Each structure stands twice: as C-alpha cells, then as structure tokens.
Structure 1
Amino acid sequence: MNVEPRHVEMLASIESRYSDFDLMAASAIDWDQKYEHINRGKFAGRMAQAVLNTLQLGRESWSPGIMLRGSAPPRSWVIAFPIVADGSLHLRGREVAAGQPLLVGPCDDIAFTANGRTDLALAAIPVDQIERWMQIRRGEPGLDRKHLDRPWKIAEREIVRRGLALARLLKTLLDREGNEPSEMVLAAIEDRVVDVVLGMVPSTEVAEPLHRRARVALRLRDMLIGSLETPFSISTMCEALGVKERTLFLACVEAFGRPPKALLLELRLNAVRRTLTHPADDQTVTAAASGFGFWHLGEFSAEYKRQFGELPSATLAKATGTNLAP
C-alpha cells in the first residue's frame, strides 16, 4: 500500500484592491486577459490569488460589471463558483443559469461578461492534474468537452457553498503572517480543492460486489489506523487500495456507518484525546493536534468539542490537574 508522497509547494501569491480595471486584469499571475468596464459607476475590484505547483486558487470581485476576454493559464481547466452575482453572467455567448458553475476548457477564449456586482471563487487546474485525479477517483480519463455545455444539477446554495469553501482555503494560504505553509498543509489544502471540484462530477463506476467491498473496508481500516500522524487524502486511499471513489465510499459506509473522511477524522480525534489524557510533562494542545495532522487549530477545537463534549484544553487540564478557572 505504499504510495509515493506528492510534492506540493507555494510558488506565488497576490492580494490587492483596485480602482483601475486594466491594472486588475494585468495583475493576475499566468493569466492573459483584458477587462472592459460596463454599466455605470466607479470601478472597484479585489483580487486574491495563490499559485501552487499543482494548481491555482483565486477570488475576484468587482462592481459594477465587466466584460472579460483572454485566456487562463496554459493547458488548464478553470472551474469558478459564483458567490455573489447581482446581474446576469454570460460565458462563451450563453447566459449562465443560477446554480451553475463556470467551466472554461484548455485554450478556450474565456469570453465572460458579468452585468453587475460579482464575487467569484475559482480554481485553475492543469490538464494532467485533472486527468490524474479523474482516473484515480472516477476511473475516467479526464474532463470531457461535453462538461462545458451540460446542465449541471446543482442547487444554487451548493454552488455558493463550494465557492465559499474555495475562498476559505485561499484565505488559509494567504494568511500565513510571513511563514510559508508547510508541505503537509499545502497537500491538505490541495486535497480539499479536489473534493470541491470533483464533487460536482458524477461517478459512472459500477461498484464492486458486497463481499469485495467488505475486504476493501478492512484494508481501509488498517490503512487509516496506521497513518494517523500523516492522514491520507481520498485520492491516496483510492490509489493505495486500487479502487474508485464510489467503491471506497460504499465499503466504508457499509462496514463502519460513515464515509472514509469522517472515519479518519474520528480516529485522529481519538488519537489526540489519548495523547492529552496521558500527557508528557511539556504537552501542549497545539503539539498534540499537529502531531496527528490537524493544521487549522480553530477547526480542530470545534471538531474535538463536537466529538467529546469539551475543548481539548479542558481534557489536558483535567489530566494535569490544572485549574482553568480565572
């Protein structure tokens, strides 16, 4: 089950506000684009962008409206989620219905128009990365041109939710206070981006028979318990077990009553609790959490309290006999 670890690194980033739409268009890293200011009113824009060696994350907002032409980073798919769209959106000569993601294929002219205040979160993913993830998790060679014009059956609130999820991941990359995120954090963020993007693509896989899924579940259990310090992504689980995402999901739910990520989260939380319940002399909550792959301490504390009914600091205080009261 050995899987070669992926190397993920941060290459560049930008975050700024703009009153000049030409300057904003020219500021995007690796993009070749031009804006035209449409509708009345003073232009106000904001752009944030993080460039990894495996993908890009971005968020753009503007008012009152723009017409955009040009191209995305070379040989990349662009998937964008409208968080706010006060006016109509048009892509490649067609109006984008509410609740639809925006997809631009490799080498396509973006040809995008937003007739009002708009806020977009987006990911630009190279073709070879999309093909790799689609093959591992869906058993398909990659995204097809048909995906550009298909009617996506996604609720509008789900599109907004996915957009906000990308925006939060981007914020984590940018809010590093002068410290570069560790490779573990970057890999975890990359994995969440894959979940957000590929979660829209339905699986066509025919699941393995029940008795084979039971064997997959036992192998998955052993795999997860053996990797709590460096938790696996869904892509890594699929690759290591030689199954697609749908089979992995069914096997885990049938055997353990929860999806793989939920099971892994609970196992890691239990491992942290054991560490805090039997602490070393200099034990801290931060060290215990990071030791089991929790890189966002706010999210960790919230999950820990949901799981055990108390904050991790309270667990440690009880184990060390410390009084937390002021």
Structure 2
Amino acid sequence: MAGFALLQTHEIKGFEEFREVVAGAPREVVQIQKGMLSGRLSHALIDGLRIDTASFNLGLRTKGVSGADGVVIGMLADSTDRVTRFSYESCPGDVLVTPPGTEHENRYYGGSKVIIASIRSEDISSSFACEGELSDPAAWRRSHYKGNAHTVQSVVPRLQSLVARLGNAPLTAESADFWKRAVIEAMSANIVQGRSSERDGPRPSALKIVRQVEEYLDEAGPGPVHISKICSYMHLPRRTLHRAFQEALGIGPIAFLKHRRLCSVHAALRLPRDSRTISDIALHYGFQSLGRFSGYYYRMFGEYPSETRRARRTPHQNGSPRIESPQP
C-alpha cells in the first residue's frame, strides 16, 4: 500500500484513551458528564498528511499544546450539545486553526465527533500556492471559521468515509497526492471561502490557459491531478482558472478534470490484462464512492462500468482484436 496507511482504529473505553487524539500532542482530559464513556479513535496518514478522527458519547474538558510539525485544522463533525473551543462557540462544520506549539482548550458538553488534519509547512506552501498569504505557513494564526449546511451535509460525511475507504486501498504516489490535496481542500474550504485574491485582475487568454492546463495534464500522465496542483503550476488563483475554463469551454475546471478522469477509467476498463477491481480503478482516478462514480460513468458513456469491462477487447490469436462475449 503506497502513500496511505491507516495506522490505527480502535474502540475506546474510558476518557484516559483520548489523551493523545493527535499522535505526539498529549492533552489533559477530564470527563465532565456522568456515565460510561465510550467512543472510537482513528489515526491515518496519507502522503505525509496526518488525519485523526475521534468520537465520544459524553462531555469532556480537554487542554494541551499542539504539536510542532504543522498547522492543525480541527473540524467539529457532530455534537449533541454545546461545544466551546477557546472562547469560540462551535457548531458542526466549524473549523479551528491551531498553529504549531499553540495552547488549546475545549469544552464538550455532550457527545461529539471531530476530524483533525495536521498539515506540514511544505503542504501548506504547495496546496495554497496561489491563495495569497495562506501560502505562507507563518501567516496562519489561531482562528475560528464558521461552517455551513454544505460542510455538514456533504464535506463531513465525505471525509469520514474517505478515511475508512482508503485504509486498505492500494494507491500510487500520484493518487495519494490527489487524495491528500482533496482532504486539505475539504478541511480548509471555510478558510479560503470569501478571501479576496491578490492576483485577480487582467487575465491571459482563456483558450491559452486551457491549452497550457491540457499540456500539463498530458505530461503528468493518466493519474488524477488535483486542481490545487494545477493552480500552483499555472501561478493562477482558482477563480481565474475557473473563469478561463468557463469562457473557453463552457464548463469549470473541476468538471473538466472529472470528465478526463472518467475517460481514463473507461480506457483502463477496456484494457484486457488489467486485473484490478472496478472499485480500485475508480479510487485510483479520484472517485471515492462507487455508487456515485457509477452514476457519473453512466451519464457520461451511456453504460455502467461493469458493462464496459465485460465488452472489453482482448487480443486474438492472430493479433487482431475481438470482442468478449458478455458474462452472465
């Protein structure tokens, strides 16, 4: 398994086991609410990005100091009662930024779920290269950002299932980099949203931008490429890239990248000697949910992935291709 390792997932019995939700950053934990505390901890790593998740059923008071190896973004995924982090009232979907070596103190009045990403300095510089001051790790300060309905209904479930899905999946270096960037983007969406871009202004020819992106994707090969990597390569903020694609192609860059990835999956499914499962191929090209991917695929090609695989071409004995008969 390259690039991603699910380090540990285990059931918790007792508040003491929550003292190190983030590896290397111990905290003091006091159980506040009466009852038998239980929950679950998961520690995962994807291409250097540490992702920790915790869920618990009773109120806690926690405090400590964040580790020294990166900026920590903590998202409140769910709660049954009030949550205060520092002096901030937090609701599900809210994120709290904690720079390295910063004190933190949280009060959970009931059961809660949290997702925590520890982002290294080099990943901040790479993922936010065209987002102004966010590209400088030293500019990140302790801050609280409000979430929204989309974060709660879409982003949180996607992050939770992604950790579980990737745990046993074989990934190439390219697909691991894609998923790392996807996690960073999801965790930081509330932070980036609404910030003005320092680079907005007169833009180059839209068609020229699209051609340069296509050339970059061709050179990168068939694996998935995250949009933040394209922005870094082009030295353009995302909104400028979006305007260029809309002007030149009538669709945004994310939709265009999805179409390219669907085409790559289609081509892989037609290869006669590709023994990977459809699920593994889809994951390699950046599709997490097999059901949602199948829907995208059907709308794109008018058939389901399994139909493409059954009808794939295989080499004939004389060198000419033939079509396999559909399997029952």
Counterpart-to-counterpart distance in 1, 2:88 and 2:70: 21
Q: Does 1:57 align with 2:47?
A: no
Counterpart-to-counterpart distance in 1, 2:202 and 2:39: 53
CA contact (8 A) 1:224 1:264 kept: no
How far residue 249 of structure 1 moved from its aligned partner, in angstroms, is 1.9
How far residue 79 of structure 1 moved from its aligned partner, in angstroms, is 1.6
Q: Name the CA shift for 1:52/1:218 in 2 (closer, same or farther; >3 Å).
A: closer
Superimposed CA distance per residue, residues 56-115 of structure 1 (whole angstroms, 9 cap, x where no aligned partner)? 111100011111111232142222222221110111133225652233232221201110
Equivalent position amino acid for 2:123 in 1: Q
Counterpart residue number, 1:4: none
Q: Does 1:247 align with 2:240?
A: yes
Counterpart residue number, 1:174: 167
CA contact (8 A) 2:14 2:37 kept: yes
Q: Name the CA shift for 1:286/1:49 in 2 (closer, same or farther; >3 Å).
A: same
Q: Name the CA shift for 1:158/1:58 in 2 (closer, same or farther; >3 Å).
A: same
Superimposed CA distance per residue, residues 9-47 of structure 1 (whole angstroms, 9 cap, x where no aligned partner)? 457711111112112324642221121111121111210
Work out which of the residue numbers 196, 201, 210 in structure 2 matches 1:204.
196
Q: How does the TM-score come out when normalised to structure 2?
A: 0.81
Where do 1:268-279 residues align within 5 Å? Answer: 268-274=261-267, 279=270
Counterpart-to-counterpart distance in 2, 1:186 and 1:35: 34
Q: Which moved more, 1:61-70 or 1:193-202?
A: 193-202
Work out which of the residue numbers 150, 175, 186 in structure 1 matches 2:176.
186
Counterpart-to-counterpart distance in 2, 1:63 and 1:283: 45
Say which SS state the counterpart of residue 137 (structure 1) adopts.
coil
Q: Name the CA shift for 1:323/1:236 in 2 (closer, same or farther; >3 Å).
A: same
Work out which of the residue numbers 261, 275, 281 in structure 1 matches 2:254.
261
Structure 2 portions without partners, runs of 5+: 313-322
Counterpart residue number, 1:89: 83
CA contact (8 A) 1:58 1:170 kept: no
Say which SS state the counterpart of residue 94 (structure 2) adopts.
coil
Say which SS state the counterpart of residue 90 (structure 1) adopts.
strand
Counterpart-to-counterpart distance in 1, 2:265 and 2:47: 32
Equivalent position amino acid for 1:223 in 2: Y
Say which SS state the counterpart of residue 205 (structure 2) adopts.
helix
CA contact (8 A) 2:99 2:142 kept: no
Q: Which moved more, 1:289-298 or 1:266-275?
A: 289-298
Q: Name the CA shift for 1:216/1:115 in 2 (closer, same or farther; >3 Å).
A: same
Say which SS state the counterpart of residue 325 (structure 2) adopts.
coil
Q: Which moved more, 1:37-46 or 1:303-312?
A: 303-312
Q: Percent identity?
A: 19
Q: Does 1:148 align with 2:143?
A: yes
Say which SS state the counterpart of residue 136 (structure 2) adopts.
coil
Q: Which moved more, 1:185-194 or 1:55-64?
A: 185-194
Q: Which moved more, 1:293-302 or 1:167-176?
A: 293-302
How far residue 266 of structure 1 moved from its aligned partner, in angstroms, is 0.7
CA contact (8 A) 2:92 2:152 kept: no
CA contact (8 A) 1:81 1:122 kept: yes
Counterpart residue number, 2:231: 238
Counterpart residue number, 1:5: none
Q: Does 1:305 align with 2:298?
A: yes
Equivalent position amino acid for 2:187 in 1: V
Counterpart-to-counterpart distance in 1, 2:94 and 2:257: 31
Counterpart-to-counterpart distance in 2, 1:95 and 1:295: 35
Structure 1 vs Structure 2 CA RMSD: 3.1
Counterpart-to-counterpart distance in 1, 2:311 and 2:13: 54
Counterpart residue number, 1:23: 17
Q: Which moved more, 1:62-71 or 1:207-216?
A: 207-216
Counterpart residue number, 1:39: 33
